Amino acid sequence: MKILYRFHDGKHLPIVDIKLKSCDGWYNTRAYVDSGASYSLFHADVAEILGLVLESGELIEMTVGDGDSLKVYIHRIKIICGGEEFTASIGFSKGIGVGFNIIGRKDIFDWFIVCFHEQEKFLELTYLNRTASNTFGAIVSTRYTL
């Protein structure tokens, strides 16, 4: 799937649509794809929207860019990203210093080959079909939608 970068105030940013399963449907939002982030990270109020009890997740401490640590609660939830539905570990925190939701590598990058086309301003997500007999996955499709 080919996803055009989002345009904000003169800059093109690798921001994609993502759906998170909530207690009564799906929460549709957008998130910044950050290949340097170990985990996907959403603000704590998203956990509330989804009907999750924040502190019931697995608590981990993440180190952020300036060396500070951040308390993050990891929940396993169903998501739809790149047109595919699967379960992923998603972190929620009250201490995120930027407004963006962030898509990091854990689980999500296991399901896709992720290619940043900076010059052309698009992100390419190629879904890997994972089965028990094919743990490394096989490229099943490259779909192009603009």
Structure tokens at 62: 């993440």
46 vs 77, which CB is nearer to other proteins?
Answer: 46
Backbone angles phi, psi at 126, to 5 degrees: -110, 115
Please identify which residue in 2, 13, 78, 86 interacts with other proteins, judged by CB under 8 A. Answer: 13
- The helix (H) or strand (E) run that includes residue 48 is helix 44-50
Closest approach, Cβ 4 to other proteins, in A, equals 7
Structure tokens at 76: 């396993």
Size of the site for other proteins (CB under 8 A): 29
Please identify which residue in 2, 21, 34, 137 interacts with other proteins, judged by CB under 8 A. Answer: 34
Count of residues in the chain: 146
- Give the CA angle between residues 87, 83, 145 to the nearest 5°: 160
101 contacts other proteins (rule: CB under 8 A) = yes
Tell me if residue 109 falls in helix, strand or coil. Answer: helix
Please identify which residue in 28, 63, 69, 142 interacts with other proteins, judged by CB under 8 A. Answer: 28
84 contacts other proteins (rule: CB under 8 A) = no
40 contacts other proteins (rule: CB under 8 A) = no
- The amino acid at residue 28 is N
- Alpha carbon distance 146, 140 (integer Å): 19
> What is the contact surface with other proteins in residues (CB under 8 A)?
4, 6-11, 13, 15, 17, 27-30, 32, 34, 36-37, 43, 45-46, 48-49, 65, 98-102
